Structure 1
Amino acid sequence: MDKLEAKESACLSLSSSRIGGMRKKLIAGNWKMNQTPSQAVVLADALKKTVSGKEAAEIVVCPPYTALIPVRDALKGSSIHLGAQDLHWEDQGAFTGKISADMLLDAGCTHVIIGHSEQRTYFHETDATVNKKLIKALAGGLVPIFCIGETLEERDGGRAFDVVKKQLEGGFAGMKDAGHTVLAYEPVWAIGTGRNATPEQAQEMHAFIRKTIASLFSAAVADGMRILYGGSMKPDNAAGLLAQPDIDGGLIGGAALKADSFYGIVKAAG
């Protein structure tokens, strides 16, 4: 898949983001720093064999950079989209260790995760750098999966909604249109801990996020934007979370590393 094909695939993803006036669910697997290229191909092959192409949810997988092209090739002919875990806001230059939007498009990516809590916590990601990355991704034709969420300290301190609002305002600063951004609410205290927000807690925050998007852009933009839940979603709790009116899918971590558990979440989205 070349850059033009990747952009066309991203456009197809966007055009099918609503079904019968309703937001289409999206299940994205974030493989994080797991899976060598050979291991990633095995997982991609297993997913390809499991997915029928008639699922109610859109499916995206985000392998490490070294596995993007092998996974792209393994998924060829399937309905599964390819995403990356980050990008830089510059097109090229002396930015050792970084990757550009053009590189991702050339590798066949249609989506890219931006502002993940682990990037914020360990690698000094800020609302300002998230903003630059969002602008670059949208300009390049990639679909950003823009992550937001509070820590346990912030939630227990009664600041969860203020923190999330600030992240949204900072990430979308100066942007007249949210474009075709997908949001992912990831309560940091529920990532990789086995602890997760109740469906009611998650819905409360998702509804707040949608209201905030309406205030930043418009009610129409807010109504059309998909908001994923990203805090330890698994096959056994996915149905309850995905049944909530403002939860439009999941950004899946650990459960995305096994084809059967990941597909269990995809089925729950149906």
Structure 2
Amino acid sequence: MAQNKLIVSNWKMNLKLTDSKKLINQIIKSVNNTKPHIKKIICPQFLLIPDISSITKKTDILLGSQDCHYKENGAFTGESSIELLKYFRCKYVIIGHSERRQNNADSNLIISKKIKTAYKFGLKPILCIGESIHLRKKKKIFGLFKKSIK
């Protein structure tokens, strides 16, 4: 029995709406109905999720989010509600990306809270674990992994 494999495409903040629609239609033509044990997951920027959700509705392409907030709602300007992500058919959420850790000070505690919120709402977290060049040179990567998943 083949194990499920994931191909995750994190679009970051690189595409405009028209470009994203062209790209998703090209992806649909090239990968739709390929091997069922390979899950194809697209993670567009937040504002593109409703459009990409609509376009991929009748395909085997799954939708993910680039991040979420750990609170269900509240005064969190610029953040994305996990409930809204679920409404737009997101099945996955990227959590702990190095850019979020560096630019938004996402600590392991915050990442842990986000993972718990994702599970609570039925989304599957894609946990990113990245090491700094300093840790890599000191060969302390496994300590980082251990600390990250606790």
Per the shorter chain, which TM-score range? over 0.9
Q: Indicate the SS of the match to 2:15.
A: coil
The answer (yes or no) to whether the contact 1:36–1:66 under 8 Å persists in 2 is no
Q: Which of residues 93, 110, 127 is equivalent to 1:112?
A: 93
Distance in 2, matches of 1:74 and 1:43, equals 11
SS at match of 1:103: helix
Q: RMSD across aligned C-alpha pairs, in angstroms?
A: 1.1
Aligned pair partner of 2:18 in 35, 38, 47: 38
**Distance in 2 (alpha carbons) for counterparts of 1:118 and 1:137:** 19
- Residue 77 of structure 2 corresponds to residue 96 of structure 1: yes
Quickly say closer, same or farther: Cα 1:95–1:52, change in 2 above 3 A.
closer
Q: Secondary structure at the match of 1:82?
A: strand
Residue number in structure 2 paired with 1:24: 4
Is the CA contact 2:32–2:61 (under 8 Å) kept in the aligned structure 1? Answer: no
Q: Secondary structure at the match of 1:68?
A: helix
The equivalent residue for 1:227 is none
C-alpha displacement at 1:75, in angstroms? 1.4
- Code of the aligned partner of 2:7: I
TM-score (norm 2): 0.95
1:52 corresponding residue in structure 2: 32
- Choose between structure 1 and 2 for higher RCO, CA contacts under 8 A separated by at least 6 residues: 1
**What secondary structure does 1:23 align onto?**
coil
Structure 1 alignment gaps of length 5 or more: 1-19, 170-270
Question: Secondary structure in 2 aligned to 1:89?
Answer: coil
SS in 1 for 2:72: coil
* 1:144 shift after superposition: 0.6
Deviation at 1:23, TM superposition (A): 2.3
Aligned residue type for 1:63: P
| CA deviation map 1:148-171 (0-9, x unaligned) | 1211111101211111111111xx
SS of 2:26 mapped into structure 1: helix
1:42 counterpart letter in structure 2: K
2:41 partner SS = strand
Alignment-derived partner of residue 211 in structure 1: none
| 1:66 match | 47
Tell whether the 8 Å contact from 2:68 to 2:114 is kept in structure 1 after alignment.
Answer: yes
Q: Give the match for residue 137 of structure 1.
A: 118
- What code does the residue aligned with 2:85 have? L
State the percentage of identical aligned residues: 34
Q: Hey, what's the Cα distance between the residues in 2 that align with 1:52 and 1:23?
A: 19
> In proportion to residue count, which structure has more helix?
1
Return 5+ residue gaps in structure 2 as ranges. none
The CA deviation at 1:62 is 0.1
Within 2, Cα distance between the matches of 1:76 and 1:158? 44
1:161-208 deviations in whole A, cap 9, x for unaligned? 111111111xxxxxxxxxxxxxxxxxxxxxxxxxxxxxxxxxxxxxxx
Q: Counterpart of 1:191?
A: none
Change (3 A) 1:48 1:121: same
Alignment of 1:174-189 (within 5 A): none
